[in-house]
Structure 1
Amino acid sequence: METIKNIIIGFGKGGKTLAKFLAQKGEEVLMIEKSDKMYGGTCINIACLPSKRLIIEAANGVEFTDAVNGKNEMTTMLRGKNYHMLADEKTVTLLDGEAKFIADHEIEVKTTTGEVKQYCGERIFINTGAVPVMLPIPGLAESKAVLDSTAAMEQATMPKKLVIIGAGYIGLEFASMFAQYGSQVTVLDLHEQFLPREDDDIATAIKHDFEDRGVKFELGVKIKRIDQETVYYEKNDTEQSIAADRILVATGREPNTAKLGLENTGIELTDRGAIKVDDHLKTTVDNVWAIGDVKGGLQFTYISLDDFRIIKDQLYGTGKRSLADRNNVPYSVFIIPPLSRVGLSEKEAQAKGIEYELKKLPVAAIPKAQVLKDPRGLFKALLEPKTGQILGVVLYGAESFELINMISLAMKMRIPAAILRDQIYTHPTMSESFNDLFK
């Protein structure tokens, strides 16, 4: 059995960045990836970048088939770039295959060519990401109309009628995108309340804008079964049905641990099936770490990148950086217009009994929004009454995915809202809205 200093399982954001860093330090790295279509990880191949490319193309009026072809060209280019980023390093070995633990520091890899190889790793980093959750709905597995989020972006033709199961953020991004392309979209969801994590005024505005574009919502439903292209569901104790060309299941993602053979190790899982880690991303086995979605928590590629920074600091730094430092992480939902948030929402502040000063600004009052021909939305900010520090901001409106990073930085550096209020911004821009939002 060959011994390798660093074994990384999964070519995702945190893992590939770590591999490159270690290679530049002259360290030996074995990178294992089960598919040559996933070099670079989920984000560039089947998630963030291809989905956002399709969303932008929809907003630009590009035909669906042309948009998919352009998306495929982009992902192929990025995949090749990521491959060479590691393959061209002298101390990195890329191995296509599926890895399984046979002991705490020993793995077996069944390669794509059918070989079985075994390795012992002095350090092992698990970076296998997450996979779509497919609910145990009768008929779901047998239906040829059912898609997951990956297959939804590979369709050769646009579905004229689309049913989406799940009104979470992923489901809404696809609903927004396909509606923009011209699909007739219906969204089914178990919850009675739309976007329960968001403030009621924000959720109401988003739902109104979706419905204004023809998207239909059926909330508080229980999916009973799927019969090929028909979904049967129960609402108000009455069974109903809806037929569609395609049925997209967008009911979340779960850590990808099922085939890792963790039962052969001392690596423990959380109640939700994620790999249990401490604040330094160490598992319950020495010199084995977990990076990215597989460890649970926020499923963002920028979280995986920050996981790399934590591990880098342990191997070649002070070791002080940890998950405890990770506060006020921003996120964006790329619907049209986009929703972005960081820190406390008004609903959360009220639930925790935290005093706040509320600031609101309708997006229609921002000159750049009129230039962009999209005045929809609402900006909200919560400030600490005595100090003027920003407790949280919700931005539902054009270009919010750029603005939220400025807010996140201000919160991290404890810059009070008055500084953003009095800042000189270029004009016309969406960022100058802070002059008015923080008045």
Structure 2
Amino acid sequence: MSTYLHYDALILGSGQAGTPLASHLRSLNLSVCLVERAHIGGCCVNEGCTPTKTMVASGRMAYLVRRATEYGVHDGEGTPRITVAMQEVRERKKDIVDSFRGGGEKRLEAAGVVVEAGRRGSWGEERGGLRWGRGKKVVTAERVFVNVGCRPARPEVPGLDDIPLERVLDSTSIQELGEVPGHLVVVGGGYIGLEFAQLFRRLGADVSIIHRGPGLLSRNDDPELVQCMQRILEEDGIDIIFSATSTTFSNSPSSSAEEAHDLPIRVTTLSAGEKKDFHASHILLATGRVPNTSTLNLSSAGISTTSSGYIPTSPSLQTNIPGIYAMGDVKGGPAFTHVSYDDFRILKAHLAGETARTTEDRTGLVPSVVYTDPQFAHIGPKWGELPKGRGLVSYSMLKAVIDPSTNKIISFSAIAVEAGEIMAVVQMAMVGGLTWMAVRDAVFAHPSWAECLNNLWGGERKEI
């Protein structure tokens, strides 16, 4: 016999929108049930931003130590000799994740949020009801907020299913490796692929990227900056295979006896009509993410989804069913933590009666950063989305697009060590409606990264 529990709000998923929303609703004296199938904090804290950037810091440290003599720093033995203890890198990552997750758990507990484990949850016949476990507990609520996020996609690649599971990795499992791969093959040249490719190259692995497109990242990214990023990765020693129209994997160890144990995977690609064969130890699948909606039986509640499983919403994050909302990655669109958190802020405003606040407020001004070293940051319409014949461009390692009729900044891209921080300065100018001249003439502290913006506008300009 089922037990029925009723709350003012039911939140599915504790990501960067769900957790703060739960605490906020409790501050309004509303009863809240938060269902989480894995760990408090969602992807960002447990598998995304926090752990990956912690590991990126380890990779950068290894890179700097190897270059120590270039800065006049010696260990008494000539060129520094380093050993990467992958288990220690992993343990440091785990400790930081546990700390962040623990902070979220304490905040929810202090707020009085009821947290339930819902590994096998799905919608029941009751609209707004959720069942999990063996159907012994049913939760209903006045409002339901779906924040279940996404997971790594698994592409269909010939031979992939024949490779041992421990050697086929995604963006989560690769963080649990106990040793540096001998040769890592990264399938996909997007954000995730580039970050992990450079990280493991700097930790000591041989790395190859297999990308279907003719250039890294997306076709809308600025080609000059993409080429700059490509040169940086190639200088790190990463092999990049473009326009890979065909890729197959097989269990076929290297013919070299000393390498046979470490490189058991044969990789065959067809790129621009040229066949390439090489051996690898591990495969990282970095070809995108899919929403975690397939097990929720959303159709039972009448909730519409796209063919890919995403939940469309109105600008106020309302689904097609009154009282049921979707937020974060599961609704589609830019899959960034800062977007998820802004979804929470929109819902918070609507609960307070401030209905003017919507997702349309951030159209065109969602920043993105690829956390390679140096970083690749961008805000505004991408190069391939800009109307032709409008604006001026000034560029070196920085590029801005200007509307000549208003002198306001339309978009900005940067490749720099702290590109994300430089971008934030330009973002504030864009939010405030400042002209490019105002940024050019601002007096920034020296030395600082922001002062490069003084020089940006003095470079070459051209019509687009």
Q: Give me the identity figure in percent.
A: 29
Write the deviation string for residues 266-319 of structure 1: whole angstroms up to 9, x where unpaired. Answer: 100124321011111101111000010000000001100110111111111321
Structure 1 stretch displaced more, 421-430 or 97-106: 97-106
Q: CA deviation at 1:348?
A: 3.3
Q: CA deviation at 1:391?
A: 1.0
CA distance in structure 1 between the partners assigned to 2:6 and 2:383 by the alignment: 53
Q: CA deviation at 1:393?
A: 0.8
Write the deviation string for residues 206-241 of structure 1: whole angstroms up to 9, x where unpaired. Answer: 111111111001111134432242333333455543
**Is the 2:215–2:226 contact (alpha carbons within 8 Å) kept by the matching residues of 1?**
no
- In the alignment, does 2:130 pair up with 1:95? no
* Equivalenced residues, count: 415
Report the residue type matching 1:355 in the other structure: R
Matched with 2:198 is: 176
Summarize the Cα distance change of 1:253–1:346 in structure 2 as closer, same or farther, 3 Å threshold.
closer
Matched with 1:25 is: 28
**Helix, strand or coil: the match of 1:149?**
coil
Matched with 1:371 is: none
Report the residue type matching 2:269 in the other structure: Y
CA distance in structure 1 between the partners assigned to 2:395 and 2:308 by the alignment: 37
Give the counterpart of 2:185 among 159, 163, 170.
Answer: 163
Write the deviation string for residues 68-89 of structure 1: whole angstroms up to 9, x where unpaired. Answer: 2111110011111111110222
**Is the 2:246–2:269 contact (alpha carbons within 8 Å) kept by the matching residues of 1?**
yes
Matched with 2:139 is: 119
**Helix, strand or coil: the match of 2:346?**
helix
Structure 2's unaligned 5+ residue stretches are 66-83, 252-264, 459-464
**Is the 1:344–1:382 contact (alpha carbons within 8 Å) kept by the matching residues of 2?**
no
CA distance in structure 1 between the partners assigned to 2:135 and 2:310 by the alignment: 29
Q: CA deviation at 1:115?
A: 6.9
Structure 1 stretch displaced more, 12-21 or 255-264: 255-264
- In the alignment, does 2:387 pair up with 1:356? no
Give the counterpart of 1:329 among 362, 366, 370.
Answer: 366
**Helix, strand or coil: the match of 2:163?**
coil
Give the counterpart of 1:105 among 128, 133, 138.
Answer: 128
Give the counterpart of 1:292 among 305, 320, 328.
Answer: 328
- In the alignment, does 2:98 pair up with 1:76? yes
5 Å-filtered alignment, 1:5-404, equals: 5-35=8-38, 38-61=39-62, 63=84, 64-90=86-112, 92-98=113-119, 99-103=121-125, 104-110=127-133, 116-144=136-164, 145-195=167-217, 196-228=219-251, 229-237=265-273, 239-327=275-363, 328-349=365-386, 352-361=387-396, 378-404=397-423
**Is the 2:222–2:382 contact (alpha carbons within 8 Å) kept by the matching residues of 1?**
yes
Report the residue type matching 1:432 in the other structure: E
The alignment's TM-score, normalised by the length of structure 2, stands at 0.86
Matched with 1:370 is: none
CA distance in structure 2 between the partners assigned to 1:206 and 1:299 by the alignment: 22
**Is the 1:131–1:256 contact (alpha carbons within 8 Å) kept by the matching residues of 2?**
yes
**Helix, strand or coil: the match of 1:88?**
helix
Structure 1's unaligned 5+ residue stretches are 362-377
Q: CA deviation at 1:257?
A: 0.7
The alignment's TM-score, normalised by the length of structure 1, stands at 0.91
Write the deviation string for residues 40-79 of structure 1: whole angstroms up to 9, x where unpaired. Answer: 1100110111111111221112834322211111001111
Larger radius of gyration: 2
Report the residue type matching 1:413 in the other structure: G
Report the residue type matching 1:338 in the other structure: Q
Q: CA deviation at 1:345?
A: 4.0
**Is the 2:188–2:287 contact (alpha carbons within 8 Å) kept by the matching residues of 1?**
yes
